[in-house]
Structure 1
Amino acid sequence: QPIETCWGIVKNEIGRNCDFTMNNLIQQLESAFGKVTAKTCAGLIRKTRDIEDAFWRDDAALDEQN
């Protein structure tokens, strides 16, 4: 799931800078979400499309066999 990759980036960034206070968490969230860049999202979209395309190719191949 693409969202899991995005969430993983955020969690890792927060984990590296955690001091276990709510104020720090609020500050770190803004910075951490900034680490999910347009390049990251574009890569995730490309990967998702590749997986979907492979699914459709496999599905079409199965239809041809029947």
Structure 2
Amino acid sequence: MNEARLVELETKLAFAEDLLDTLNQTVVRQQAQIDLLQEQLRLLHRQLQDMRPDDARTLRDEIPPHY
């Protein structure tokens, strides 16, 4: 009976280790995606800042064209 219990525990451990490896790979992949998205957001923010003139706009520029 002890042998069967040991085999059962080893089997569960093998599945747990496989699951842990899969989850680690998922976390690494997601972190890479987050890093890429953050860099893209920084670039977009810089582009937006570059497109906006400092004080060249007036309130009249803010009025929608249908007025």
Shared fold per TM-score greater than 0.5:
no
Q: Decide which structure has the larger Cα Rg and report it.
A: 2
Query: TM-score normalized by structure 1?
Result: 0.45
TM-score (norm 2): 0.44
Higher helix share: 1
